[in-house]
Structures are given as structure tokens and as C-alpha cells.
């Protein structure tokens, strides 16, 4: 079994770009050493999609795991795929199935929480 920390290490080693909602999400990922991040807050969806599609062919969408984040994820995924961008869903699926994390900006706190350290749950980490 692999942990969330191992997933994060895989993402750091890959050249995948992470798409997040806002600057707090970006800062949380950056504090864990993930640097290839695009925050789309303040941009109209169509502008964000066009910008991403111009420079990236594959992304991981890490919108929050709440109702609004799921809705935004669905829109982004659909629109990016229409523009030929491949969406890697494996890390998002891992977060849903194996953690109680609901907001990406809470990642650092979640990783340092006693409950995460004690459970150290995880799933296989594919090569990104």
C-alpha cells in the first residue's frame, strides 16, 4: 500500500501540471514541494480552459472535494477534454477513496494531523 506522501512524491517527480481553484490551494501544494500548478480563480472558465489547453496536453485537476469543487471539476474536465487535454484522474480518485480531505488548501494540516499519521492509509501509486 502507498500513502498520500508517496503520491505527493510521485507528482513532484512527474512533469504533470496541477489545476487548482485558488491561491490557497496552490500554496498548500507548493508547501509540499509541488511546483507545476495553475490556479484558475478570478478567470472565466473558458479563458482558463483556453490558457491551459494552449500549453498543456495532460493535467491533474484538484478542485475541492465538496459540492462546488465537484461541479467545477466536471466542467473543467469536460471542457479541457474537448480541447484535447488528457485528464489524469488517479490522484483525485485516491483522495476521494482513501482520505477524508475535502479542501486542497487543507492538505498541509491534513498531512500533519495525528489521525493521518496513525492510519497511513493508501492505494497503489501509478507512475505519472
Going along the chain from its start, the domains and CATH numbers come out as: 4-114 (3.40.1360.10)
Helix axes 4-13, 90-98, angle to 10 degrees: 170
pTM: 0.84
d(CA 97, CA 27): 24
Which of 72-111 are b and which e, b meaning 16 or more Cβ less than 10 Å from the residue's Cβ?
A: bbeebbebbeeeebebbeebbebbeebbebebbbbbeebb
For the stretch 104-113, pLDDT in tens is 999 988 888 8
Task: Name the pLDDT band for 128 (thresholds 50, 70, 90).
Answer: low
What's the pLDDT tens digit per position in 25-59? 999 999 999 989 999 998 999 999 999 999 888 99
Burial class from Cβ neighbours inside 10 Å (0-12, 13-18, 19+) for residue 59 reads buried
Q: What pLDDT was estimated at residue 116? A: 54
Question: Cell digits for 4?
Answer: 498520500
Half-sphere exposure of 86 (CA within 13 A, CB side): 6
Which residues on neighbouring strands pair with residue 19, listed in sequence order? 38, 61
* SS3 at position 103: coil
Amino acid at each position: 500500500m502507498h500513502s498520500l506522501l508517496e503520491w505527493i512524491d510521485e507528482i513532484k517527480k512527474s512533469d504533470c501540471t496541477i489545476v487548482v481553484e485558488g491561491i490557497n490551494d496552490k500554496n498548500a501544494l507548493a508547501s509540499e514541494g509541488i511546483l507545476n500548478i495553475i490556479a484558475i480563480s478570478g478567470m472565466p472558465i473558458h479563458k482558463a480552459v483556453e490558457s491551459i489547453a494552449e500549453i498543456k496536453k495532460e493535467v491533474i485537476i484538484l478542485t475541492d472535494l465538496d459540492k462546488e469543487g465537484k461541479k467545477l471539476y466536471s466542467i473543467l474536465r469536460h471542457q479541457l477534454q474537448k480541447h484535447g487535454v488528457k485528464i489524469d484522474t488517479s490522484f483525485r480518485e485516491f483522495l476521494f477513496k482513501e482520505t477524508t480531505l475535502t479542501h486542497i488548501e487543507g492538505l498541509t494540516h491534513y498531512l500533519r494531523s495525528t489521525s493521518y499519521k496513525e492510519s497511513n492509509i493508501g492505494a497503489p501509486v501509478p507512475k505519472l
